[in-house]
Amino acid sequence: MFAYQIHKNETEAVVMLEGDFDIDSGEMLEEDILPVVSEYDQVRLNFGEIYFVDSSGIGLIIRMVDELREGGRSVKIEQIRPEVMEVFELLQIREILGEEVFE
């Protein structure tokens, strides 16, 4: 199951993600989250409560970060759990998105 909360201020949106980040998350990400956070200069994706990411979830992350950056947004991914970071490292997500995305 996937859930989220968005905390906003004048310039920043912080997306608190929870659950499994997989193909089932895609529709919610594209239809609910991306349109809201696209209005902010800075976007932080908090992965502190994400326990599982599969290949479709990785694709969603890459697409979302790319879309936001193409729109001139600053994107940070933070508080990544060790088991999720292991997947990111195996797939070289830091190299794909750039070190500056990760806190």
User: Residue 14 belongs to a domain with what CATH number?
Assistant: 3.30.750.24
* pLDDT for res 27: 86
- b/e for 58-76, b at 16 or more Cβ within 10 A? bebbeebbeebeeeebebb
Phi first, then psi: give them for residue 17, nearest 5 degrees. Answer: -100, 150
What is the mean pLDDT of the segment spanning 63-91?
96
| Structural domain that includes position 97 | 2-101
pLDDT tier, 26 (very low <50, low <70, confident <90, very high otherwise)? confident
Residue 10 has pLDDT above 90, yes or no: yes
This prediction has a pTM of 0.93
pLDDT confidence of residue 84: 96
Position 13 pLDDT exceeds 90: yes
Number of structural domains (the chain) is 1
